[in-house]
Structure 1
Amino acid sequence: MTRYLLGLAALLMLLSLAQSASAETEAMVWNRYGLPMRINGELVEKVPAPASLGSTVCVGEQVHYLTPERRLVFNGWSGGGVEPCILVSAAGNYEAFYVEELLVVVDSSYQPLRRSFWARKGESILLEVQKEYVEEGYRYVFERWSKGENPFDTVNNIVVLEPLYIEAKFRKEVRLQVVSLPGILVNGTGWYSEGEVTVISAPREIRVSESERLLFREWVSIGRHPAVIYNTPSSVTTIEVRGPHIIKAEYDRYFLVNAMGPQGVILSGWFREGEVLQISAPILIEIIPDSVRLAFKGWSGDLSHRTNTLSIVLERPLNINAAYVTEYRVEVRSPVGGSGAGWYEENATAIIRVPAEVQALLFTKRALQRFSGDCGDFCLSRGPLILKVDSPKTVEAVYALEPDLPSIGAAGSTAAALSAVYFFSSRRTRIKAKDYQKSPPVQHAA
């Protein structure tokens, strides 16, 4: 109001000066705010001021601040010019026009929207924002303007009558991503208010197939913004959302392992991928003591090995069987020993060998007569006994005492020879004795 009174006073003064202007003063320069001006380079504090023809008149200030939030901005001359300086070319009044501008400050929690600008007093301005802004895991959702004709719309109109502070209010949200292995449905992904506590969940167990499954292990924060998870080993837990977190549900993969043998289950169950398994089958399984047994031959199925003990790193489901063969015991009984006794696989061939004869007492021998026991039609065999081992076998070699004719003959010949030697030796001795008795005594000289 004061400026307008000053302007009115300046106008009245201008009329008074115009009436008393002399011949050498043919123009008046002024502005209604009483701001200083320059005439031919000299600053004139008091306006209106006279100016002669041909003078150069300039505004003293193009922008004049009334307060930090109000200002006057030069807007041109009454004669139509917009430059800050004009040439007085004719008599008359030359008014410098100013417009009042007011500072408008737009504030927001979404920083890119923050700005300030000057608007003319009485001007209607249009403010517009988007419904939401998404940036690096954060989302800003529009709620309202602090003032204006349309405070709840993204497009707002307001008339600037005074310095203006207006806020575009947004709700700040953060992105929570809950992830896991492909194909696993986990819950909790979404937008949340900063600091909000929410529930995240994942399946505890997932059946991939009849022989493969996944078991939940723990929650892990894998993003750039670490999260505090209250109970990581639980498949259902809570989390306080304080930033754009990425939470992953970690699973362990398990495979079904079945190892079977003649006696039933050797090993059966679910085992974790990468685990080292020790699987062992007995080398021998006794069915009937000292008669029938099973002998380990190898593993069949998903693995093929000859050793009875396996040490494997589990990488897939396993179904294996311990393969055995039936073995029967063959017993050989012989008073003079023999060969061929032992364990044989079912339907194998056993060759039994015993001596055909062996010296016994003087001039007698043990001669193999036959076999007895589990030898069937081959019991009368006197040579090597060949048997098909289809059951436990006990075979006995049967011997009989017989004269040992060669020994007897040899003994007789020896006796005859000895008798002859004795006969001739004794006869010679008798002849020599008889001749000795017939010979005269020998005379010796005196």
Structure 2
Amino acid sequence: MTATTSSTEDAAADFNPMVSPHREDPHLFYRTARSRPPALSPTLGAYLVTRYDDLVTVVDDPQTFSSEAALPFIYANPPEVTSVLEAGGVPETTMVVNEDEPEHRAFRRVFDAGFTGARVRAMLPTMRARADELVDAFAGGAADLVADYAVPFVQTVISAIIGFPAEDTARIQAWTDDVTTLWNPLSPVDDRVAAAHRMAEYTRYLQALIDDRRARPREDLLSDLVHGANGFPGVPDEYTHNIVRGAARVAGFDTTRDAITATVLVILQHPDVRDRVLADPARAIPRATEEALRRDAPHRGLFRITTREVDLGGTHLPAGTPLLLLFGSGNRDETRFPDPDAVDLDRPNVREHLAFGRGLHVCPGAPMARAEIRVALETLFRRLPNVRLADGFEPIYIASYFFRGLESLHVTW
């Protein structure tokens, strides 16, 4: 097979996570896609990599499969969007996730300083206090664990890690949603123009924080980026803008929020799993978390671009071919994970899942995310051992280009 496909093949291979039926359940598409070589999705403009072995081939060979296009650039938008960004003085550089070696190493080492084991341990009291506070605020024997629990819990943690003032959470979240809109080529252009207008204020806000940390460093990621860490110097201000508003705030929020609620849903949908969590939370919660990360990876995937001609999984790809790595598909590849749709807390190879990526660009925040999930679940099931899904609850998933998460998770007790 070559990189040229017929219109019939294009239609069968097309994928749009923003609309039905792929929005509700992409796994039906993934299962079919894994039965054929990588093929072009006309909607996404990229070849879809869906099989586990093909995904590993790509992430383990960064010389052939460059990360330079891993996430879109906001200045890759149409002129009516970029002119607004330029007028607002909004900077853009490449991001850590878009860097290849050797440039990647220095930025990654500084970024990693925000997510060390010591930082994770230091955040545990904040996590526990916030989780208890949120459960205390539940009223009437019912809650939406997305809006009432996972969202404010993760917002508190990621703000503390980065160094955002807690009182600014609402407007930071609004700006973060704007960044996601600007990254999404499937968003209406009018929405992207509106988001671009608001980015000027976000830029001024971030620069004020950067200037403050330059004069008064603290124990936070902003200070690490400004002053340096792990033996590497600080990064230029424009890089700090990109790292904080993108890889730190977007990725650090959406993925962890969705992983918490996906794990709770798995537990509440499976009585045997729930019994194990209540009987032995210290052992069962980490196992349920890894299985939920495998079954419902919160991050849909990242892009790569070929640097040379290469054959991948039976498809010949010229140099410069864009690929979308669909980690959620690889995590249910039956050749790697037998009975992949089942929930198995004793799955021996569950840690081979790709929910946090792999290799050079494995997620630096994975240890922090796992700690957040563990604390959120430990608190919830300790405080509300009788929690159950609300009568008639049916999961509905957000329309998202990058993330796979629940719109709501209604429970009662």
TM-score (norm 2): 0.17
TM-score (norm 1): 0.16
The one of the two structures with greater contact order (alpha-carbon pairs below 8 A, sep at least 6) is 2
Q: 1 or 2, which has the higher strand percentage? A: 1
